[in-house]
């Protein structure tokens, strides 16, 4: 199998798998238990939290473990509007956010909140001036992802923070960094955000673990009520095996960060060059600012068909959410490109394990599929 859909999920790295196994079979105590085995689990949990916090660039006490990026996004959005409910009912987000942001924002709109959706240019980039112009005295939340999951573009989160401060707006700033984490350098302080979401399975940890950064001093309501774990903010017995795996995956990536970034970016650029040379009818929809994501299109060849035929050849890529029941995704549609380009769009996303030989195999398969379709017409 040739796996080139790493923006969807990643293969768990050996370090993460071994860490999870050790905790599940040996250090399996409940961190809330008072005896020695529980205390050892609590000590391991504290160390793992510090490792993940260092990878995020925050204090351990600012990091709260969640089950996934979707949970973190929902928690951040709902807590932020609750925090600002006496100051206003206006939200700003972008038209190209993940559904984990757009759906809770849509639910709030149904409850009477006014929402401004910033639209991208044809390359998926957001103009910081549009954000500055949209800010109002009653804006209570700005939610803007750092790296778009379908285009790989980097959004102006830092500029958004500067605009919020310059305007005097009471808005809290949330960013979904699920696709940016460990791939694009940042810290919450440098970005100027109040809330920040990560997910483990995008960085070679298992599914079922993520985290939410909450700026120190920001007093938000807990996600739910219970036994007081996660400083009472997200109670429930901690998933210590998943947390250990996330910490191990973070450390493994950090140990090779420069090497991984260069390898991924070089592989992506090799693919884009090969695609353009072999398929002149193709279109590069996005080169991707982030090192690991790009998007291409073969107008006239529906992406659902391409994904299916590539799968038959043992190659995994995605239309992302790029084609759902014959319609372009909200991300690609927001770029305003021609419909034929949107319907033929493919997202290709890379990990450190991918090779140029795999890129050659993907390009050759696309040549064969398109040639066969032409011959059949």
Q: Catalytic residues, which ones? A: 323
Helix (H, G, I), strand (E, B) or coil at 143: strand
3-class DSSP state for residue 211? strand
Residue with tokens 């830092």: 158
Instruction: Kindly state the helix (H) or strand (E) to which residue 294 belongs, with its residue range.
Output: strand 293-297
3-state helix, strand, coil in the chain (%, to 5): 45, 15, 40
Q: Is 249 helix (H, G, I), strand (E, B) or coil?
A: helix
Tell me the β-bridge partners of 284.
296
Tokens for 313? 């050849």
Residue 236 and residue 264: Cα distance in Å, rounded? 37
CA nearest to 52, candidates 261, 241, 201, 200: 200
Cβ atoms of 343 and 323 within 8 Å: the answer is yes
Q: How far apart are CA 337 and CA 159, in angstroms?
A: 26
Residues 6+ apart with CB under 8 A from 182: 55, 203, 250, 253, 254, 257
Mention every residue, 6+ apart, whose C-beta is less than 8 A from residue 138: 87, 88, 89, 90
Q: What is the rounded CA–CA span in Å between residue 24 and residue 205?
A: 15
The three-class DSSP label of residue 16 is: helix
Nearest to 123 by CA among 350, 337, 345: 337
Do residues 345 and 328 touch, judged by C-beta distance below 8 A? Answer: yes
Spatial neighbors of 67 by CB under 8 A, at least 6 apart, are: 208, 209, 210, 239
DSSP 192: T
CA distance 347 to 368: 19
């Amino acid at each position: 199998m040739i796996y080139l859909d790493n923006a969807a999920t990643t293969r768990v790295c050996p370090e993460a798998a071994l860490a999870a196994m050790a905790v599940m079979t040996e250090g399996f105590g409940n961190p809330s238990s008072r005896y020695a085995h529980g205390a050892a689990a609590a000590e391991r949990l504290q160390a793992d939290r510090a490792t993940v916090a260092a990878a995020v660039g925050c204090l351990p006490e600012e990091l709260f473990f969640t089950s996934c990026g979707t949970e973190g996004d929902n928690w951040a959005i709902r807590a932020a509007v609750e925090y600002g409910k006496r100051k206003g009912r206006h939200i700003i987000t972008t038209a190209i956010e993940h559904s984990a942001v757009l759906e809770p924002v849509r639910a709030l709109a149904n409850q009477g909140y006014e929402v401004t959706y910033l639209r991208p240019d044809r390359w998926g980039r957001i103009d910081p001036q549009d954000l500055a112009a949209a800010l109002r005295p009653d804006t209570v939340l700005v939610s803007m992802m750092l790296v778009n999951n379908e285009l790989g573009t980097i959004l102006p989160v830092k500029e958004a923070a500067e605009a919020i401060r310059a305007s005097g707006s009471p808005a809290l700033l949330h960013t979904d960094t699920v696709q940016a984490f460990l791939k694009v350098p940042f810290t919450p302080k440098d970005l100027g955000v109040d809330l920040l979401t990560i997910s483990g399975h995008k960085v070679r940890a298992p599914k079922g673990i993520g985290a939410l950064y909450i700026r120190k001093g920001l007093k938000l309501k807990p996600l739910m009520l219970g036994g007081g774990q996660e400083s009472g903010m997200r109670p429930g017995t901690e998933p210590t095996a998943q947390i250990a795996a996330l910490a191990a995956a973070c450390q493994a990536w950090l140990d090779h960060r420069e090497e991984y970034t260069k390898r991924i970016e070089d592989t992506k650029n090799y693919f884009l060059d090969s695609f353009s040379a072999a398929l002149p009818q193709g279109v590069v929809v996005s080169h991707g600012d982030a090192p690991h994501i790009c998007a291409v299109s073969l107008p006239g060849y529906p992406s659902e068909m391409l994904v299916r035929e590539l799968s038959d050849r043992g190659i995994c890529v995605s239309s992302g959410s790029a084609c759902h029941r014959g319609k372009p995704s909200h991300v690609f549609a927001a770029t305003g490109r021609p419909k034929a380009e949107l319907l033929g769009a493919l997202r290709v996303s890379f990990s450190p394990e991918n090779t140029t030989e795999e890129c050659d195999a993907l390009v050759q398969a696309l040549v064969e599929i398109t040639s066969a379709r032409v011959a059949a017409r």
